[in-house]
Chains A and B, each alone.
Chain A
Amino acid sequence: MGVPLLDIRDLTVAFASDGGTVHAVNGISYALSEGETLGIVGESGSGKSVHVLAMLGLIPMPPGRIERGEVLFQGRDLLTLDDRALRRVRGGEIGFVFQDPMSSLNPAMTVAAQIVEPLRIHLGLDGAAARRRALELLDLVRIPDAARRLDQYPHEFSGGQRQRVMIAIAIACKPKLLIADEATTALDVTIQAEIIGLVRELKREIGMAIVWITHDLGVVAGIADTVQVMYAGRILERGPVDDLFADPRSAYTLGLLRSLPDLAGGTKGRRLQPIEGAPPDMRDPPVGDPFAPRNRYATERCFREAPPLAQAPGAAPGHLVAAWYDLRGLLARERAAP
């Protein structure tokens, strides 16, 4: 495997607010290899978006603050880079796709001008060469009649097409890493599937690693190699996608899976089970396992002490969980004694 492409160690991010300090990301560590696709799942406020924005210097500071940690990208710590050096990484080596394609393109600039920007900034391309490359990129993201559409404005594109344009911008400089933050959330389900298909194809062509941030487990199942479940600024579970779906070890992951309609329809008639309760107030995060108050399997220790993220016993290698309880055992017992 060698040196990972991205190696995040103990990243901790907080925001100053009127009601006190919001502890948005609490010491998360994970690594991503070249060409790997990591799906990060979590609800709003789980820190899934904030931690990637923070490592690229995209959160406003203040009120934001990176309290601890390292983010090694190709061996360099992004958190120690100055503004200039970090700008060279953003959009060049790391491409970023935002959630809302309707608002993340500049309404006053043509699509061509916006695709050319990263080319000019990172590759020094200009004029006709940049335009040719922009045309190739629009073709690459499968926008029909690309030559004509280059000079159109964003409002002349549909939502799905705008997200394709955003992807074209993100991959313009052939990044090593593409970060997609809820990139399909604002789109119709059919368009979602198209965009995911497109990203998978592009990944094959360009060979980049992907961090796909979403709250939708179904999307993750369709794209990721590895899944990471985040809650209250921590990683609760992480593992190969098939293993994690088949054998969840965190009660939160289980809750997420049970609140989904079954994709295969295997459990017809099963009621969807919502997760009871609300996520914790991150101005005053719980000392122990942050999910404990909503977890019916929580033990007394869960409330006292935060569990470390460690290999889940009996699971596939690389399947990690942060839990004091043994979810597999508990579920087996439930099934045995109904």
Chain B
Amino acid sequence: MNAGTAAAGAKPTTPRVEKPEAGPLREVWLRFLERPSAVVGLAFVVALVAIAALADVIAPYDPFATDWGAVRSPPSLEHPFGTDEVGRDLLARIIHGARASLAAGLTSVALAVVLGLPLGLLAGYAGGIVDGAIMRLTDALLAIPFLILAIALAAFLGPSLTNAMVAIGLSATSIFVRLSRAQVLAIKAEEFIEAARAVGNPPWRIALRHILPNIVPAILVQATLTIAAAIIAEASLSFLGLGQQPPAPSWGSMLNVAKNFLDQAPWMAIWPGVSIFVAVLSFNLLGDGLRDALDPRQRR
């Protein structure tokens, strides 16, 4: 567009600067960074994941080691978070408990997405009887409160952390069926889907290559927010004895024991309570931040 155009006849030299262009992901990231609460949420989530992953290394004590000489001792230099009713170090148990919470949150939501997304895609894209059948089933599941359903399923499957994850995942599936179906219906009406058909794309390619990538942002946001709900659900199930089984540490079961010692050893309840609160808040902040950053209304 400059002097090069004037030099007619000369071999056109295209500047081949193969620098990665500002893709849509980069823009989303920049918008995400503009939101302090989102960045805080992300930082806490990353910290949480790091703590859970490195639990064996960073925990100051063995979370199972009892110390009958230091039963229910208050926070001190030796035991920064105090100890529980059999003298186990609370900091170590909180750190190891993060594993149960995160594993439950991530696994159950992964299960819910893996089951819900294809069903929603199918319902939205195929329509007709398939849609009707899937959606009636989903409506029936949605009619039962999330936690009640999870408790019922966990009780049915038997108490263990794995079963609690399955129960939470199944309970959350209908959320993703419904969301992905609604997203598919919205995207299906877009002109570029008609254009994709006019190019000769077969239906499966339109569903997977043209519709799916466009519904991923909404699913991602919902998944992040559902992880927060799943962490609470896991804590609740463990509190009720349907999740992580003692003596393995879990924030929910720690709260259950702590409720018996609220006046003598309040720290036993405070730390797991604060941990659940922080974990849930971080995922919610992250989810909200992602939603704002991915909001298509802010695209040019």
Contact = CB atoms under 8 A, between A and B. Distances in A.
Interface of A: 56, 58, 84, 87-92, 96, 98-100, 103-109, 117-118, 121-122, 144-145, 147-148, 151-153, 155-156, 166, 169
A153 B300 CA distance: 12
Contacts of B198: 56, 58, 90-91, 96, 98
B196 interface: yes
Given A103-B192, A153-B23, A144 B1 contact: yes
17 contacts: A98-B191, A98-B194, A100-B191, A103-B190, A106-B192, A106-B210, A107-B299, A108-B24, A109-B209, A109-B210, A109-B213, A117-B196, A118-B200, A121-B200, A121-B201, A144-B1, A153-B24
Contacts of B202: 84, 87
A323 B214 CA distance: 50
B199 interface: yes
Contacts of B199: 90-91, 96, 117-118, 121, 169
B195 interface: yes
Contacts of A56: 198
Contacts of B17: 148
A49 B197 CA distance: 16
B76 interface: no
A106 B196 contact: yes
B216 to A, nearest CB: 8
Interface in B155-169: none
Interface of B: 1, 14-17, 21-24, 190-192, 194-202, 209-210, 213-214, 299-300
Given A58-B197, A152-B21, 5 more contacts: A56-B198, A98-B191, A105-B192, A108-B213, A166-B195
Contact of B299 (A84, A152, A155): A155
A121 B203 CA distance: 13
A221 to B, nearest CB: 27
Given A117-B199, A145-B14, A103 B214 contact: no
Contacts, number: 81
Contact of B214 (A106, A122, A145): A106
Contacts of A155: 24, 299-300
A186 to B, nearest CB: 11
Contacts of A103: 190-192
A118 B195 CA distance: 11
Contacts of B14: 145, 147-148
B201 A117 contact: yes
Nearest to A108: B213
A122 B200 contact: yes
Contacts of A89: 200
Nearest to B209: A109
Nearest to A103: B191
A169 B198 CA distance: 10
Contacts of B213: 106, 108-109
B17 to A, nearest CB: 7
Contacts of B15: 148
Contacts of A96: 195, 198-199
A105 B191 CA distance: 8
6 smallest beta-carbon distances between A and B, as pairs:
A91-B200, A91-B199, A96-B198, A108-B213, A103-B191, A104-B195
A90 B1 contact: no
A157 B200 CA distance: 24
Contacts of A169: 195, 199
A145 B192 CA distance: 25
Contacts of B214: 106-108
A147 to B, nearest CB: 5
A94 B223 CA distance: 42
Nearest to B192: A106
A104 B201 contact: no
Nearest to A90: B200
Nearest to B299: A155
A34 to B, nearest CB: 21
A327 B214 CA distance: 54
B4 to A, nearest CB: 11
A244 to B, nearest CB: 29
A123 B14 CA distance: 28
A194 B13 CA distance: 25
A147 B13 CA distance: 12
Contacts of A98: 191, 194-195, 198
A58 B194 contact: yes
A102 to B, nearest CB: 9
